[in-house]
Amino acid sequence: MDKKVIAIAAILGAVAIVLGAFGAHGLKELISQESIIVFETGVKYQMYHALFLLFVGSTALISDKIKKIILTLVVSGVALFSGSIYFLACNSLFSFDFKKIGMITPVGGLLLIGAWLTLFLHFIKQKR
């Protein structure tokens, strides 16, 4: 499980760096400065959670069952939260109006919060 969590963390981190560079350079002429800031928010949260998964995958203080729950919550949360933010920020570049599905952003946020709370509750319940 640790290898899987760390591998996914590395992929999320690498993709965050690529998207951050793309947002800073490739989108500069295509979307507004305000939209670039929104795009960067998605990148930040993706990177924060890549680092979170690195911690989760690197510690023996968390059971494999809890690691699997956290991994699922983080991957789903990043996909919905950051993914929707990327599309909302670039909305003007597409014929589809992503504002129609903007309600998935807070669902992704709740999944990310759930991952952190899962970690918190796991440590609170530990006897040592």
Averaged pLDDT, 103-128: 93
| Amino acid (one-letter) located at 46 | Q
pLDDT digits (tens, 9 = 90+) for 15-64: 999 999 998 888 888 888 898 999 999 999 999 999 999 999 999 999 99
Total domains, the chain: 1
H helices of 22-103, in order, are 33-58, 64-89
pTM for the structure as a whole? 0.91
Q: Among candidates 42, 75, 79, which has minimal Cα distance to 57?
A: 75
What domain range is 65 assigned to?
2-125
Confidence (pLDDT) at 27 = 84
pLDDT digits (tens, 9 = 90+) for 53-95: 999 999 999 999 999 999 999 999 999 999 999 999 888 888 8
Confidence (pLDDT) at 99 = 84
Sign of CA dihedral 55, 2, 114, 35: positive
Please compute, for residue 57, the number of CA atoms within 13 A of its CA located in the half-sphere on the CB side.
Answer: 19
Q: How far apart are CA 74 and CA 11, in angstroms?
A: 13
pLDDT of 127 over the 80 cut = no
Confidence (pLDDT) at 128 = 65
